[in-house]
Chains A and B, each alone.
Chain A
Amino acid sequence: MAQLDDLDLSERLFLKGYPFKRYAPRPDNPVITATTPLRKPLAECTVALATTAGLSLPGQPPFDTTIKMGDSSFREIPSDVAPGLLEMHQRSWAFDHRGVLQDRNLALPLDRLHEMQKRREIGAVAPRHYSFMGSIVGPAKLIKASAPEVACRLAADGVDVVLLTPV
């Protein structure tokens, strides 16, 4: 089980002092209090994945690990990619990279999603999935630009459900 105490002292102190409250739900902000109930059975839903593992396709520009406030950009991952081909570019060493490097499904469970579709537990696998790098210390751009852009693309693909995974 992961606990804050597992992290380095510097990481722990950083998280302790970080103003999470600034980005926590407030009743006056519709974006952060919105709830979308499931409208149909999961077996009829189109499902997409999103992760902050920093995965990208070999031809895509890697995430920029040098941006001080964090790289808030995202990469589109097509559903038919072989997960083993995905590269991982990560600024964070707060987590053990070895698991994801052994099996990308640990962060982006595309193979499992396809299996669920074959078993008819979900309706369809979305055509596109999304990867961010995380380590976004200053999330203003994420909130204003990249997260809404991804939401818009997911909606355009007719996605009903998204499973998100941190690392």
Chain B
Amino acid sequence: MSAAQAERYDKQGDIPDAERVKRAMQNFVRDFGRSAAIYMESCVHCGNCAEACHFYATTNDPKYTPIWKIEPFKQAYKREYGPFAWFYRALNLKSAVTVERLEEWQELIYDSCTVCGRCSLICPMGIDIASLVSLARHGMAKAGLVPHELWAVAERGEKEGSPLGATPKVFKDRLEWLADDYEVEIPLDKTRADVLCTMSSIEIMKYPESIVATAKIMKHVGADWTFRLDGYEATNFGLLSGDADWQRDMSMKLIDAAIACGAKTLVLPECGHAYGALRWMGANIYGKPLPFRVVHIAEFMAEHVKSGKLKLKKVGKSVTFHDPCQIARRGGAIEAPREVLRALGVELREMEPTKGLNWCCGGGGGVVTIHRADALRHRVFQLKMNQIDETGAELPVTSCSNCRQTFDDGQAHFKWDKTMNSLLEMVANNLEGEAA
């Protein structure tokens, strides 16, 4: 990244500087509890986390050391909130955080962190650094210090119901033409259904065949399912931008829609952060356990492979699977996609490292939306290309449309000879007893 790019930062709203700092800190600690405080107290500055970060690994720039990315917030914690805050203030061991410092850190908190959580696994102290970056984003969002493109799509998501313009009307139109074109039944707004399916905006706008694939698979397994216009959009840019209120609004739409149709299962689409947002944070936002199950589409497919309802043709190719960070490493759904791949009869060639330690594609955490971060993201993507090339597999496959988009962009940029495939679409194209 050039110096000019590194110095750039964006601001939202016309807020006095002191107020921005105040809001940043208040919202940083809003969801601060025992775990975060334990993490804050445990860092010994060993610097090991740098080795796990794809942004450091590909640039050797020390500013990309994961724990350094939350330095102003660490500083503020020690000075303002920790048990010895008075001591740090009295000796001025930590200076007060300024708005300039927060502006400078915008690049580190957003552009160069996909919240992939690899650093959390290398930390010898066991600090979940990624969770602290998310808390830092809470502060930055309310201080109006989010990279503009990321903020803009988040705001659009809050106002229109979809960050990429997949409004209820657009979604309905899409479903109609897809149903016509592909001659597939796509139920919408059923008042009762066992399964509520959701999609990500990237799929709706860029990969609409995913919608068709979902419909085909649901029909194949005989599910009583529906899409609903009051809750179809699983993308949660509230989470990615750090705006906790928007995150809540976006999650509650899905929760309310599932409850409205009495769904027993809510199926999340091929989208990484959507999984973290609803599978692991949904109930905490709702305030009580959710009255339905939340599963990723790969988990749903794996369940039906096991039950024998999902019968697949053999693909007979070599495949390598890219683990989306929020689904695999941080989400725990690591084996489900592999069970589906085994049912497809592919030769699975694992990357090195793989599964929960796999390298991130570089586009998660909202990074793919931030244009000024493109050069850095492309640099990081080379690591991924090398990893995949080394497997010698014919097809790279993943189960996250955000990763897929990052791969498509990287492929175009580097004129790479590999195209990322969707596990969902691969399954839909190989259903036994149906033409592809």
A and B: partners?
A: no
Binding site for A on B (CB under 8 A): none
Binding site for B on A (CB under 8 A): none
